[in-house]
């Protein structure tokens, strides 16, 4: 991890001294759940991924760093923006993708048997060595059984500057809350189609004081190119802004 990454993580810890209840619900690899952050909250996130570019589980060659900001618009609506850069072994930083996501939930959590929400994401990607503009709507279903959560995402990603058809993707995730400081779960994600990549990511979430939430996972990517191993780390903290008090007229 380079010096800028350490500075960013240190800043999150410093800011969290005055933080509010952080939005802790999304899974490590961004499987969405129902909850949105409060309209007075701003959440900062740092993600780090150490990934493999070969079928060997010990040949780990590249870091990816992501900075993200989430903002609550109202009780049911939030937006997020994030950018990801790859740090190659020769110490070059390459921009991979920038995303802007908007998520809306329909009801209060638990008001219905299943909690539905909708997300729309626009991204500019250089992952395939060319610039792609992508729109991706996602339908979210989530359900809590006491401390146990199940979540299903169904998404359709369309490259706007390509004649190719849309890719249909899924994410299924579950986790269990152990008391108030630990969550253990997994994500299974992928796309429909022959040789499309599939991911399986066991993970743990630590709920620390001052509303700091580190998440750790070891994932496996399956595709026609074989298996690839990657490690992923996320740290989150939330900030709450008080509404300014206007002086009353006499």
Instruction: Write the DSSP symbol of residue 16.
Output: G
Using 50, 70 and 90 to split pLDDT, how confident is the model at 10?
Answer: very low
Tell me the average pLDDT across 21-36. 72
Using 50, 70 and 90 to split pLDDT, how confident is the model at 241?
Answer: low
Burial environment of residue 193 by CB neighbours within 10 A (0 to 12, 13 to 18, 19 or more): exposed
Residue 127 and residue 96 in contact, taking contact as beta carbons nearer than 8 Å:
yes
> What was the pLDDT predicted at 183?
93
Query: Residue 7, SS3?
Result: helix
Which of these ranges, 22-36, 47-61, 72-86, 180-194, has the smallest mean pLDDT? Answer: 47-61
- CATH code for 3-240? 2.40.160.40
pLDDT (tens digit per residue) in 167-207 = 999 999 999 998 778 999 999 999 987 778 899 999 999 98
Token reading at 55: 């079928």
Q: Give the helix ranges, DSSP H, for the chain.
A: 3-15
pLDDT (tens digit per residue) in 120-140 = 999 999 877 789 999 999 999
- Inform me whether the pLDDT recorded for 245 exceeds 80: no
Better-predicted residue by pLDDT, 154 or 9 = 154
> What was the pLDDT predicted at 213?
87
> What was the pLDDT predicted at 240?
64
As a whole number, the mean pLDDT across the chain is 80
Euclidean distance between CA atoms 118 and 128, whole angstroms: 27
Q: Could you give the count of Cα atoms lying within 13 Å of 211 in the half-sphere of its Cβ?
A: 22
The answer to whether the Cα torsion of 226, 128, 121, 36 is positive or negative is positive
pLDDT (tens digit per residue) in 210-224 = 778 899 999 998 887
- Inform me whether the pLDDT recorded for 55 exceeds 80: no
Using 50, 70 and 90 to split pLDDT, how confident is the model at 56?
Answer: very low
From the CB of residue 146, how many other CB atoms can be counted at a distance below 10 Å?
Answer: 7
Residue 170 and residue 187 in contact, taking contact as beta carbons nearer than 8 Å:
no
Euclidean distance between CA atoms 228 and 49, whole angstroms: 13
């Amino acid at each position: 991890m380079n010096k800028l990454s350490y500075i960013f993580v240190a800043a999150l810890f410093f800011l969290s001294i005055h933080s509010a209840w952080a939005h802790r619900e999304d899974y490590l690899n961004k499987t969405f759940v129902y909850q949105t952050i409060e309209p007075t909250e701003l959440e900062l996130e740092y993600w780090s991924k150490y990934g493999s570019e070969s079928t060997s589980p010990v040949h780990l060659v590249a870091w990816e760093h992501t900075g993200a900001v989430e903002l609550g618009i109202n009780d049911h609506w939030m937006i997020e923006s994030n950018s990801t850069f790859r740090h190659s072994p020769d110490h070059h930083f390459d921009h991979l993708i920038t995303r802007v996501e908007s998520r809306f939930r329909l009801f209060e959590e638990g008001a219905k048997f299943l909690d539905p929400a909708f997300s729309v994401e626009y991204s500019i990607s250089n992952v395939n060595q060319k610039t792609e503009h992508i729109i991706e709507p996602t339908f979210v279903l989530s359900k809590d059984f006491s401390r146990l959560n199940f979540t299903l995402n169904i998404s359709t990603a369309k490259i706007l500057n390509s004649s190719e058809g849309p890719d249909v993707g899924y994410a299924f995730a579950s986790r269990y809350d152990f008391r108030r400081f630990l969550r253990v779960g997994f994500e299974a994600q992928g796309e429909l189609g022959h040789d499309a990549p599939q991911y399986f990511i066991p993970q743990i979430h630590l709920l620390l004081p001052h509303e700091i939430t580190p998440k750790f996972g070891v994932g496996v990517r399956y595709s026609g190119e074989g298996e690839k191993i990657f490690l992923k780390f996320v740290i989150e903290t939330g900030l709450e802004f008080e509404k300014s008090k206007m002086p009353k007229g006499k």
